[in-house]
Structure 1
Amino acid sequence: MLYILSGASRSGKTIVAKEFLKKTGIPYMSVDAIMMGFTNGIPEYGIHDKLWPHEIAERLWPFLQAMCKSMLWTEVDFVLEGEAFLPELVRKLLDEHPDKIRVAFMGYADANSDEKANDIKKFSSGVGDWLVNEPDDYIKNHIENMVVYSVMIREGCARNNLLYFDTSQDFEGTVRRVLDSFKPPAAQ
């Protein structure tokens, strides 16, 4: 089974992926690492971390789609986690392989940007956290951009009949609901 977990930065995707790994032993990879490989390794491809998430998703899609199809063909159990997926693109892949893919998108379309920025600073582990060391104005601006992106993702999920989980309220409960949606077929 291939699990695709996407959505806004700071919505809880990595937390879900890590918890899912603990519960199932199914590994995950952050698609952000792939994007940074393009950013720093082959910048001539024009895929870099300064683009808007939907631009990264559109540019990375041919690569990610081919990677997903290879994983599906080899029947590997794996979670791909990161911003670089769009509902309309994932929908086509899901339609081709309905019994082999689980998809969930996460965001915080209804979040208060000040509260979300405070939560990021409060709950960050600090280890490998690029955002928490930025100035407050930068963090707030990032959150405001991700609220806009969350609305876009939520609307895309509604149009494409895909699961969208909003972590604006009840973050921990929402993370549990995402995990429940990812339970392997034998565990349901």
Structure 2
Amino acid sequence: MIILITGASHTGKTVLAQRLLEKYKYPYLSIDHLKMGLIRSGNTNLTPEDDDELTDYLWPIVCEMIKTAIENKQHMIVEGCYVSPEWKNNFTEEYLRNIRFICLAMTEDYIEEHFDDIIRYESEVESRIVEADCSIENLKQCNRWFIDAFSAAGDKITLIKDDYEKTLMEEFLQNARGGCI
């Protein structure tokens, strides 16, 4: 089983991946780690700010890693924002049966009401470089993009609208019922 987690910045993708790792002992791949490895090694001239280009560059690599894991009957959690909204087009039905997709996004009201908490917990699992441009408006714009793009592609969005922990716990439990163990 592959658990593919995407969503806007600061939505808890890494927190959810870490919890799933601890529960199921599935290894996980952070697309951010892959991105930084390629950037730091000089294998690309892209920078961490080149989001659209990074998705175009990284997603084909991640797809083939997912296919390889499925073919080898290996479990894996893959998390990051560099997932194409057309992700399903890269897989046959046989592969899709082995992928559990999760897209996390926050409502505008949630962002406004909980912005200080969002920033306070941004390094819950991994140390982040403080993003100077992380503002309420930027978060709203990024979350709106994920909601619109992935909804238009026919994907269900796990919407964080009031209680963050409750929403993540529901997604966590839904994963358990979805056969991830």
What is the aligned length? 180
More helix by share: 1
CA apart distance, 1:172: 0.8
CA apart distance, 1:61: 1.6
Query: Which residue number in structure 2 is paired with residue 72 of structure 1?
Result: 70
Query: Partners of 1:134 and 1:87 in 2: how far apart?
Result: 25
Contact 1:117 1:139 in 2 (8 A): no
Q: How far does the alpha carbon of each residue in 1:10-48 deviate from its partner, in whole angstroms, 9 at most, with x for none? A: 1011111111112211121211000001211125x3433
> Structure 1 168/95 Cα, relative in aligned 2: closer, same or farther at 3 Å?
farther
Query: Partners of 2:63 and 2:20 in 1: how far apart?
Result: 22
Question: Equivalences for 1:46-57 in 2 at 5 Å?
Answer: 46-52=45-51, 54-57=52-55
The one-letter code matched in structure 2 to 1:147 is K
Contact 2:11 2:106 in 1 (8 A): yes
> Structure 1 163/126 Cα, relative in aligned 2: closer, same or farther at 3 Å?
closer
> Structure 1 126/24 Cα, relative in aligned 2: closer, same or farther at 3 Å?
closer
Question: Equivalences for 1:34-45 in 2 at 5 Å?
Answer: 34-43=34-43, 45=44
Query: Which residue number in structure 2 is paired with residue 154 of structure 1?
Result: 147
Q: Find the residue that maps to 2:141 and give its secondary structure.
A: helix
> Structure 1 125/185 Cα, relative in aligned 2: closer, same or farther at 3 Å?
closer
1:92 to 89, 93, 104: 89
Query: Partners of 1:14 and 1:59 in 2: how far apart?
Result: 21
Q: TM-score, normalised to structure 2's length?
A: 0.84
Which blocks of at least 5 consecutive residues in structure 1 are unaligned? Answer: none
Query: Which residue number in structure 1 is paired with residue 3 of structure 2?
Result: 3
The one-letter code matched in structure 2 to 1:58 is D
> Structure 1 83/19 Cα, relative in aligned 2: closer, same or farther at 3 Å?
same
CA apart distance, 1:147: 2.2
Cα-Cα RMSD: 2.5
Query: Partners of 2:163 and 2:15 in 1: how far apart?
Result: 14
Which blocks of at least 5 consecutive residues in structure 2 are unaligned? Answer: none
The one-letter code matched in structure 2 to 1:38 is L
